[in-house]
Structure 1
Protein backbone atom coordinates (compact mmCIF):
# COMPACT_ATOMS: atom_id res chain seq x y z
CA UNK A 1 0.00 0.00 0.00
CA UNK A 2 1.20 3.50 -0.83
CA UNK A 3 0.49 6.64 1.19
CA UNK A 4 1.28 10.26 0.45
CA UNK A 5 1.50 12.95 3.06
CA UNK A 6 0.45 16.32 1.70
CA UNK A 7 1.42 19.44 3.57
CA UNK A 8 0.80 23.02 2.70
CA UNK A 9 -1.41 24.25 -0.11
CA UNK A 10 -2.86 21.49 -2.29
CA UNK A 11 -1.77 21.81 -5.89
CA UNK A 12 -2.58 19.97 -9.04
CA UNK A 13 -0.13 17.32 -10.07
CA UNK A 14 1.52 17.92 -13.44
CA UNK A 15 1.99 14.70 -15.37
CA UNK A 16 4.64 14.52 -18.07
CA UNK A 17 3.76 13.04 -21.45
CA UNK A 18 5.90 9.99 -20.66
CA UNK A 19 4.05 9.44 -17.37
CA UNK A 20 0.68 9.79 -19.10
CA UNK A 21 1.76 7.31 -21.78
CA UNK A 22 2.87 4.80 -19.15
CA UNK A 23 -0.44 5.12 -17.26
CA UNK A 24 -2.48 4.83 -20.48
CA UNK A 25 -0.48 1.73 -21.49
CA UNK A 26 -1.42 0.10 -18.19
CA UNK A 27 -5.11 0.49 -19.06
CA UNK A 28 -4.60 -1.25 -22.40
CA UNK A 29 -3.38 -4.52 -20.85
CA UNK A 30 -6.05 -7.24 -21.29
CA UNK A 31 -8.17 -7.45 -18.15
CA UNK A 32 -7.07 -4.05 -16.80
CA UNK A 33 -9.72 -1.72 -15.42
CA UNK A 34 -9.38 2.01 -15.95
CA UNK A 35 -10.80 2.79 -12.49
CA UNK A 36 -8.25 0.51 -10.80
CA UNK A 37 -5.33 2.09 -12.68
CA UNK A 38 -6.64 5.59 -11.95
CA UNK A 39 -6.98 4.79 -8.23
CA UNK A 40 -3.40 3.46 -8.17
CA UNK A 41 -2.11 6.85 -9.39
CA UNK A 42 -4.53 8.97 -7.37
CA UNK A 43 -6.36 10.42 -10.37
CA UNK A 44 -9.98 10.26 -11.44
CA UNK A 45 -11.10 7.71 -13.99
CA UNK A 46 -12.63 10.51 -16.08
CA UNK A 47 -9.22 12.21 -16.35
CA UNK A 48 -7.66 8.94 -17.45
CA UNK A 49 -10.40 8.43 -20.06
CA UNK A 50 -9.69 11.98 -21.31
CA UNK A 51 -5.99 11.16 -21.65
CA UNK A 52 -6.84 7.99 -23.59
CA UNK A 53 -9.17 9.90 -25.94
CA UNK A 54 -6.52 12.60 -26.46
CA UNK A 55 -3.87 9.97 -27.21
CA UNK A 56 -6.12 8.40 -29.88
CA UNK A 57 -6.73 11.73 -31.62
CA UNK A 58 -3.01 12.59 -31.50
CA UNK A 59 -2.03 9.49 -33.49
CA UNK A 60 -4.85 9.45 -36.05
CA UNK A 61 -3.59 9.93 -39.57
CA UNK A 62 -4.90 12.89 -41.55
CA UNK A 63 -7.77 12.00 -43.88
CA UNK A 64 -6.79 10.75 -47.30
CA UNK A 65 -8.68 11.64 -50.45
CA UNK A 66 -10.36 8.96 -52.51
CA UNK A 67 -10.32 9.38 -56.31
CA UNK A 68 -13.79 10.21 -57.65
CA UNK A 69 -14.99 10.57 -61.23
CA UNK A 70 -17.65 13.23 -61.78
CA UNK A 71 -20.12 12.35 -64.51
CA UNK A 72 -22.40 14.70 -66.42
CA UNK A 73 -25.98 14.69 -65.11
CA UNK A 74 -28.27 12.18 -66.79
CA UNK A 75 -31.44 13.70 -68.27
CA UNK A 76 -33.42 10.64 -67.10
CA UNK A 77 -32.02 10.72 -63.57
CA UNK A 78 -34.36 11.27 -60.67
CA UNK A 79 -34.35 14.61 -58.90
CA UNK A 80 -32.17 14.42 -55.81
CA UNK A 81 -34.06 14.20 -52.55
CA UNK A 82 -33.73 17.24 -50.33
CA UNK A 83 -32.53 16.12 -46.94
CA UNK A 84 -33.40 18.14 -43.85
CA UNK A 85 -30.54 20.20 -42.52
CA UNK A 86 -28.67 18.65 -39.63
CA UNK A 87 -25.37 19.07 -37.89
CA UNK A 88 -24.11 15.69 -39.18
CA UNK A 89 -22.47 15.67 -42.62
CA UNK A 90 -24.07 13.59 -45.38
CA UNK A 91 -22.19 12.15 -48.35
CA UNK A 92 -24.27 10.91 -51.28
CA UNK A 93 -22.80 8.95 -54.19
CA UNK A 94 -24.62 7.71 -57.31
CA UNK A 95 -23.04 4.81 -59.19
CA UNK A 96 -23.28 3.92 -62.87
CA UNK A 97 -25.20 0.74 -62.03
CA UNK A 98 -28.00 2.83 -60.50
CA UNK A 99 -27.02 2.23 -56.90
CA UNK A 100 -27.01 5.16 -54.49
CA UNK A 101 -24.92 5.32 -51.34
CA UNK A 102 -25.60 7.75 -48.49
CA UNK A 103 -23.22 8.03 -45.58
CA UNK A 104 -24.56 9.97 -42.63
CA UNK A 105 -22.08 11.36 -40.12
CA UNK A 106 -18.34 10.98 -40.10
CA UNK A 107 -16.73 8.10 -41.98
CA UNK A 108 -13.08 7.22 -42.31
CA UNK A 109 -11.47 7.39 -45.73
CA UNK A 110 -10.69 3.67 -45.50
CA UNK A 111 -14.38 2.85 -44.95
CA UNK A 112 -15.53 5.05 -47.85
CA UNK A 113 -12.86 3.60 -50.15
CA UNK A 114 -13.80 0.01 -49.21
CA UNK A 115 -17.51 0.63 -49.82
CA UNK A 116 -16.85 2.31 -53.18
CA UNK A 117 -14.60 -0.56 -54.26
CA UNK A 118 -17.22 -3.12 -53.19
CA UNK A 119 -20.01 -1.32 -55.04
CA UNK A 120 -18.01 -0.88 -58.27
CA UNK A 121 -16.78 -4.47 -58.56
CA UNK A 122 -18.29 -6.29 -61.49
Structure 2
Protein backbone atom coordinates (compact mmCIF):
# COMPACT_ATOMS: atom_id res chain seq x y z
CA UNK A 1 0.00 0.00 0.00
CA UNK A 2 2.77 2.43 0.88
CA UNK A 3 4.56 1.74 -2.42
CA UNK A 4 1.38 2.28 -4.42
CA UNK A 5 0.61 5.49 -2.55
CA UNK A 6 4.15 6.78 -3.07
CA UNK A 7 3.96 5.93 -6.78
CA UNK A 8 0.63 7.76 -7.11
CA UNK A 9 2.05 10.82 -5.36
CA UNK A 10 5.08 10.85 -7.68
CA UNK A 11 2.84 10.56 -10.76
CA UNK A 12 0.61 13.34 -9.44
CA UNK A 13 3.63 15.57 -8.83
CA UNK A 14 4.90 14.91 -12.37
CA UNK A 15 1.51 15.80 -13.86
CA UNK A 16 1.43 19.08 -11.93
CA UNK A 17 4.97 19.88 -13.03
CA UNK A 18 4.09 19.31 -16.71
CA UNK A 19 0.93 21.35 -16.33
CA UNK A 20 2.83 24.29 -14.84
CA UNK A 21 5.44 24.03 -17.59
CA UNK A 22 2.95 24.45 -20.44
CA UNK A 23 0.43 26.77 -18.79
CA UNK A 24 0.17 30.27 -20.28
CA UNK A 25 -0.44 32.99 -17.72
CA UNK A 26 -3.45 35.25 -18.08
CA UNK A 27 -1.16 38.28 -18.45
CA UNK A 28 0.58 36.78 -21.48
CA UNK A 29 -2.75 35.67 -22.91
CA UNK A 30 -4.19 39.19 -22.54
CA UNK A 31 -1.18 40.80 -24.18
CA UNK A 32 -1.38 38.29 -27.03
CA UNK A 33 -5.03 39.21 -27.60
CA UNK A 34 -4.22 42.93 -27.51
CA UNK A 35 -1.37 42.49 -29.98
CA UNK A 36 -3.60 40.48 -32.32
CA UNK A 37 -6.31 43.13 -32.47
CA UNK A 38 -3.82 46.02 -32.63
CA UNK A 39 -2.32 44.40 -35.72
CA UNK A 40 -5.72 44.13 -37.42
CA UNK A 41 -6.75 47.68 -36.44
CA UNK A 42 -3.57 49.05 -38.01
CA UNK A 43 -4.14 46.97 -41.15
CA UNK A 44 -7.72 48.27 -41.31
CA UNK A 45 -6.58 51.90 -41.05
CA UNK A 46 -4.00 51.48 -43.81
CA UNK A 47 -6.20 49.40 -46.12
CA UNK A 48 -8.76 52.13 -46.81
CA UNK A 49 -11.55 49.53 -46.49
CA UNK A 50 -14.74 49.85 -44.50
CA UNK A 51 -14.72 48.09 -41.14
CA UNK A 52 -17.38 45.51 -42.06
CA UNK A 53 -15.73 44.73 -45.40
CA UNK A 54 -12.35 44.22 -43.74
CA UNK A 55 -13.85 42.03 -41.01
CA UNK A 56 -15.58 39.88 -43.62
CA UNK A 57 -12.39 39.50 -45.65
CA UNK A 58 -10.37 38.53 -42.56
CA UNK A 59 -13.19 36.40 -41.08
CA UNK A 60 -13.30 38.52 -37.94
CA UNK A 61 -16.17 39.71 -35.79
CA UNK A 62 -17.15 43.27 -36.84
CA UNK A 63 -18.30 43.97 -33.28
CA UNK A 64 -14.97 42.91 -31.76
CA UNK A 65 -12.96 44.76 -34.40
CA UNK A 66 -14.95 47.96 -33.77
CA UNK A 67 -14.55 47.57 -30.00
CA UNK A 68 -10.76 47.19 -30.20
CA UNK A 69 -10.46 50.01 -32.72
CA UNK A 70 -12.23 52.34 -30.28
CA UNK A 71 -10.08 51.15 -27.38
CA UNK A 72 -6.87 51.82 -29.27
CA UNK A 73 -8.12 55.17 -30.57
CA UNK A 74 -9.02 56.44 -27.09
CA UNK A 75 -5.76 55.19 -25.59
CA UNK A 76 -7.51 52.72 -23.29
CA UNK A 77 -5.19 50.05 -24.69
CA UNK A 78 -1.65 50.96 -25.77
CA UNK A 79 0.49 48.21 -27.22
CA UNK A 80 3.06 47.78 -29.97
CA UNK A 81 2.13 44.45 -31.51
CA UNK A 82 5.47 44.20 -33.35
CA UNK A 83 7.30 44.11 -30.03
CA UNK A 84 5.69 40.73 -29.36
CA UNK A 85 6.85 39.11 -32.57
CA UNK A 86 9.76 36.72 -32.60
CA UNK A 87 12.80 38.58 -34.02
CA UNK A 88 13.06 36.13 -36.90
CA UNK A 89 9.49 36.98 -37.97
CA UNK A 90 10.04 40.72 -38.15
CA UNK A 91 10.38 42.36 -41.57
CA UNK A 92 13.48 44.35 -42.34
CA UNK A 93 11.51 47.54 -43.14
CA UNK A 94 8.26 48.33 -41.40
CA UNK A 95 6.35 50.98 -39.44
CA UNK A 96 5.26 50.91 -35.83
CA UNK A 97 1.67 51.11 -34.72
CA UNK A 98 2.25 53.25 -31.63
CA UNK A 99 4.90 54.71 -29.39
CA UNK A 100 4.96 52.61 -26.24
CA UNK A 101 7.25 51.52 -23.47
CA UNK A 102 9.29 48.37 -24.17
CA UNK A 103 7.27 45.30 -23.25
CA UNK A 104 8.20 41.71 -22.67
CA UNK A 105 7.97 39.48 -25.73
CA UNK A 106 5.47 36.66 -25.96
CA UNK A 107 8.24 34.39 -27.27
CA UNK A 108 11.80 34.42 -26.00
CA UNK A 109 14.55 35.13 -28.50
CA UNK A 110 16.85 32.23 -29.15
CA UNK A 111 20.60 32.54 -28.89
CA UNK A 112 22.04 33.81 -32.14
CA UNK A 113 18.85 35.57 -33.32
CA UNK A 114 19.54 38.95 -34.94
CA UNK A 115 18.68 42.01 -32.93
CA UNK A 116 15.37 43.64 -33.80
CA UNK A 117 15.82 46.79 -35.91
CA UNK A 118 14.68 50.08 -34.50
CA UNK A 119 11.28 50.96 -35.93
CA UNK A 120 10.14 54.54 -36.56
CA UNK A 121 6.96 55.65 -34.86
CA UNK A 122 3.89 55.72 -37.07
CA UNK A 123 2.61 59.16 -37.97
CA UNK A 124 -0.87 60.28 -36.97
CA UNK A 125 -2.55 63.01 -38.99
CA UNK A 126 -4.94 65.60 -37.63
CA UNK A 127 -8.07 66.56 -39.58
CA UNK A 128 -6.35 69.74 -40.77
CA UNK A 129 -3.39 67.75 -42.09
CA UNK A 130 -5.68 65.22 -43.77
CA UNK A 131 -7.62 68.02 -45.48
CA UNK A 132 -4.43 69.74 -46.64
CA UNK A 133 -3.06 66.49 -48.08
CA UNK A 134 -6.38 65.71 -49.78
CA UNK A 135 -6.46 69.17 -51.36
CA UNK A 136 -3.02 68.59 -52.86
CA UNK A 137 -4.64 66.06 -55.20
CA UNK A 138 -6.71 68.90 -56.70
CA UNK A 139 -3.67 70.89 -57.82
CA UNK A 140 -3.04 71.02 -61.59
CA UNK A 141 -1.12 67.95 -62.74
CA UNK A 142 -1.27 66.28 -59.32
CA UNK A 143 -1.75 62.51 -59.07
CA UNK A 144 -3.23 60.75 -56.08
CA UNK A 145 -0.53 58.07 -56.11
CA UNK A 146 2.26 60.66 -56.19
CA UNK A 147 0.75 62.65 -53.31
CA UNK A 148 0.35 59.44 -51.29
CA UNK A 149 4.00 58.48 -51.81
CA UNK A 150 5.10 61.99 -50.88
CA UNK A 151 3.43 61.74 -47.46
CA UNK A 152 4.17 58.05 -46.89
CA UNK A 153 0.58 56.80 -46.96
CA UNK A 154 -1.28 54.30 -49.10
CA UNK A 155 -3.42 55.43 -52.01
CA UNK A 156 -6.60 53.88 -50.58
CA UNK A 157 -6.28 55.95 -47.40
CA UNK A 158 -5.92 59.15 -49.44
CA UNK A 159 -9.03 58.29 -51.47
CA UNK A 160 -10.91 57.80 -48.20
CA UNK A 161 -9.79 61.23 -46.98
CA UNK A 162 -10.98 62.78 -50.25
CA UNK A 163 -14.43 61.25 -49.76
CA UNK A 164 -14.45 62.24 -46.07
CA UNK A 165 -13.90 65.93 -46.86
CA UNK A 166 -16.14 66.01 -49.93
CA UNK A 167 -13.35 66.20 -52.48
CA UNK A 168 -15.08 64.04 -55.05
CA UNK A 169 -13.86 62.99 -58.44
CA UNK A 170 -14.04 65.73 -61.02
CA UNK A 171 -17.17 65.65 -63.14
CA UNK A 172 -16.74 64.79 -66.75
CA UNK A 173 -17.22 67.55 -69.27
CA UNK A 174 -20.54 67.52 -71.08
CA UNK A 175 -20.57 67.86 -74.83
CA UNK A 176 -22.52 70.80 -76.23
CA UNK A 177 -24.90 70.23 -79.10
CA UNK A 178 -24.09 72.24 -82.23
CA UNK A 179 -26.64 72.83 -85.00
CA UNK A 180 -25.42 73.40 -88.54
CA UNK A 181 -27.61 74.87 -91.28
CA UNK A 182 -28.66 72.32 -93.87
CA UNK A 183 -27.12 74.33 -96.70
CA UNK A 184 -23.63 74.21 -95.22
CA UNK A 185 -21.21 71.75 -96.88
CA UNK A 186 -20.19 70.39 -93.46
CA UNK A 187 -23.80 69.59 -92.61
CA UNK A 188 -24.34 67.77 -95.89
CA UNK A 189 -21.13 65.82 -95.41
CA UNK A 190 -22.20 64.74 -91.92
CA UNK A 191 -25.58 63.60 -93.20
CA UNK A 192 -23.91 61.46 -95.85
CA UNK A 193 -21.70 59.68 -93.28
CA UNK A 194 -24.52 57.34 -92.22
CA UNK A 195 -26.38 55.67 -95.01
CA UNK A 196 -30.08 55.07 -94.78
CA UNK A 197 -30.67 51.37 -94.01
CA UNK A 198 -32.95 49.36 -96.21
CA UNK A 199 -36.55 49.30 -95.05
CA UNK A 200 -36.05 52.47 -93.00
CA UNK A 201 -37.20 56.05 -93.40
CA UNK A 202 -35.54 59.28 -92.24
CA UNK A 203 -37.32 61.39 -89.61
CA UNK A 204 -35.96 64.89 -88.87
CA UNK A 205 -36.34 66.01 -85.26
CA UNK A 206 -36.98 69.55 -84.09
CA UNK A 207 -33.44 69.92 -82.68
CA UNK A 208 -31.84 69.02 -86.00
CA UNK A 209 -31.13 65.37 -85.33
CA UNK A 210 -32.04 62.62 -87.74
CA UNK A 211 -33.30 59.19 -86.78
CA UNK A 212 -34.20 56.11 -88.77
CA UNK A 213 -37.61 54.53 -88.27
CA UNK A 214 -39.33 51.58 -89.97
CA UNK A 215 -40.70 52.52 -93.40
CA UNK A 216 -44.29 53.69 -93.24
CA UNK A 217 -44.03 55.02 -89.65
CA UNK A 218 -45.83 58.22 -88.68
CA UNK A 219 -43.12 60.90 -88.29
CA UNK A 220 -45.11 62.70 -85.57
CA UNK A 221 -45.40 59.50 -83.53
CA UNK A 222 -41.67 58.88 -83.90
CA UNK A 223 -40.86 62.43 -82.76
CA UNK A 224 -43.18 62.06 -79.75
CA UNK A 225 -41.51 58.83 -78.69
CA UNK A 226 -38.02 60.34 -79.00
CA UNK A 227 -39.01 63.44 -77.01
CA UNK A 228 -40.58 61.28 -74.27
CA UNK A 229 -37.45 59.16 -74.02
CA UNK A 230 -35.19 62.23 -73.82
CA UNK A 231 -37.39 63.76 -71.12
CA UNK A 232 -37.22 60.56 -69.06
CA UNK A 233 -33.42 60.64 -69.15
TM-score bracket, normalised by the shorter chain, equals 0.3 to 0.5
Query: TM-score if structure 2 supplies the norm length?
Result: 0.21
Structure (1/2) with the larger helix percentage: 2
RCO comparison, higher one (Cα < 8 Å, 6+): 1
TM-score, length of structure 1 as denominator length? 0.38
